[in-house]
Amino acid sequence: MQDKTTQNTNSQPWYKLPIMWLVVGIPLSSVILGIILLTLAINTDDSMVVDDYYKKGKQINRQLARDHYAASLGLSATLNYDNNSGKITIKLQGRGPVNSDATNNNPITLRFLHPTRSKRDLSVTALREGDSDLYTAQTVANRTGRWYIQLETKRWRIIGEARFPINKEFKLNPAKL
């Protein structure tokens, strides 16, 4: 018979047993991941959810009217973006009163809309150069990533999409309805 007071010399400390790390590791990793997800949920915003969704839904008819009007004018724009200075040159083309909307009372606005983060959206006013169809705007230099771009007045709107940095001109057209 073996004495109960003798210890087994083959036993290892608990922290050296692989099964112990499996038993402790799974719940511990779940707790750590839960804390990370909770921190992300608290510190990030849900920018796509709005309180006044009914009002936003009603405004779509007004925005569609601007798209229809731009299409009826055959309106389009060619944009050149200088990545180093952030200067944008816009050339408007179309039939009818393209430039009559670009007065002090009704300026042309250029919007850069980020696909996922509304806090990164940027809006600048494009200024007309003399009596030509050229407009210029100053924005942030070294822009990167994918952006939706809108050129608009109160009466019309044309849209496009670009991936920055960009080294070529790109076009904006009325939305396809």
The CATH number of the domain where 160 resides is what?
Answer: 2.60.40
Question: Quick one: 37 and 94 in the same domain?
Answer: no
Distance CA 79, CA 169 (A): 5
Sign of the torsion formed by the C-alpha atoms of 91, 93, 149 and 111: positive
Question: Quick one: 18 and 94 in the same domain?
Answer: no
Residue 60 lies in a domain: no
pLDDT tens readout for residues 38-68: 999 998 876 665 555 556 666 666 678 888 8
pLDDT tens readout for residues 62-119: 678 888 888 888 999 999 988 888 888 989 888 766 655 554 455 789 999 888 888 8
Question: Quick one: 168 and 92 in the same domain?
Answer: yes
Sorting pLDDT into bands at 50, 70 and 90, what band is 37?
A: very high
Question: Quick one: 82 and 38 in the same domain?
Answer: no
pLDDT of residue 58: 60
Question: Quick one: 164 and 101 in the same domain?
Answer: yes
Name the residue range of residue 121's domain: 75-172
Question: Quick one: 38 and 110 in the same domain?
Answer: no
Q: Which residue has the higher pLDDT, 1 or 146?
A: 146
Residue 138 lies in a domain: yes
Q: Which residue has the higher pLDDT, 168 or 171?
A: 171
Question: Model-level pTM?
Answer: 0.62
The structural domain count of the chain equals 2
Distance CA 148, CA 124 (A): 14
Give percent above pLDDT 90 in the chain: 20
Q: Please count the other Cβ atoms lying within 10 Å of the Cβ belonging to residue 77.
A: 24
Residue 121 lies in a domain: yes
